[in-house]
Amino acid sequence: MHRKNYCKEHEELLKKGVTDFKDFLANTFQYFSNENETMTKENEREKSSLRKRADRIKEFRCKNLIVVLEDPKDPSNIGTVIRNVNALGVDKIYIVDSRNLLAKDWIEIKEQKSILASSVSAVKWTFVKKFKSTEECIIHLENNKFTSFVTSPHVKGKTNFILHKGDYTQKRLAVWFGKESIGISDLAVKHSEACINIEMFGIVESFNLATSTGIVLYEVTKQRREFQNRKKVIKQ
């Protein structure tokens, strides 16, 4: 083959290669554009579905019911309690966080990986407010006319009752849960109206934080929903 013919053929092959590569890039770009568009539509459908569910269950949520966690030490416990709070229809959760485990506000807490994972994304649908101290939280609740109940074994000089014997239909109610290791503080007890305790019959008479919140809040939310439904019937 003559050198001239060889160079011409080589040039043509190079041009064809460039054209093919350009086509490849264009096709790849189109593929990922289509994928992104599909994913966007799926995300929008998922959000729409979640929003519809949120609207459907809105009337079953317990208005003016707040859960207070006092200085929890384990972020995964916080996330699990948030999951309980959301599943049982509690209005809000307040967290006394003197250890500074949480981000500064709900917008940032919603993106905190440890909370997001352990709450199974429930934190995105549950209002969380952070306080620096027990005293700060008490002042906020009292200023807003909330009645506080604490979960604690029998405390002398306070109203004490077994969980299922209590009345939880107060207009505004805050239910406190203490630290995993030592329980509720004396300050929180002092400013509470009553102490709730869970009846137990085992050798080990204690529950972890996530379990105790689930048990207590099931009874509290059940009573408040029944009370809310009776009020609706009376109004009708």
Interval 2-57: pLDDT, tens: 555 545 555 554 555 556 655 655 666 666 566 666 556 565 665 577 677 667 77
The pLDDT value recorded for residue 206 is 84
Are 177 and 113 part of one and the same domain? yes
Helix axes 209-235, 75-87, angle to 10 degrees: 20
- Tell me, yes or no, whether 107 and 149 share the same domain: yes
Spatial separation of the C-alpha atoms in residues 45 and 81, rounded to whole Å? 28
Asked if residue 75 and residue 122 are part of one domain, the reply reads yes
Do 138 and 223 sit in the same domain of this protein?
yes
Predicted confidence at residue 36, as pLDDT, reads 62
* CA–CA separation, 199 and 161 (whole Å): 10
Low-confidence residues of the chain: pLDDT under 50: 6, 13
What integer pLDDT is reported at residue 50 of this predicted model?
65
Residue 168 and residue 111 share a domain = yes
What is the distance between the alpha carbons of residues 75 and 83, in angstroms, rounded to a whole number? 13
What residue numbers bound the domain in which 159 lies?
Answer: 62-235
Give the pLDDT of residue 196: 97
Predicted confidence (pLDDT) per residue in 223-236, tens digit: 999 998 887 767 66
| Domain match, 78 and 186 both | yes
Verify that 168 and 203 share a domain, yes or no. yes
**Amino acid letter for position 33:** S
pLDDT of the residue at 6: 47
Rounded to two decimals, what is the model's pTM?
Answer: 0.78
125 and 21 in a common domain: no
Whole-angstrom Cα Rg for the chain: 28
Q: Residues 36, 120: one domain?
A: no
CA dist 188 and 186 (Å) reads 6
CA distance 133 to 70: 8
Q: Which amino acid is at 184?
A: I
The total of structural domains in the chain comes to 2
d(CA 210, CA 160): 22
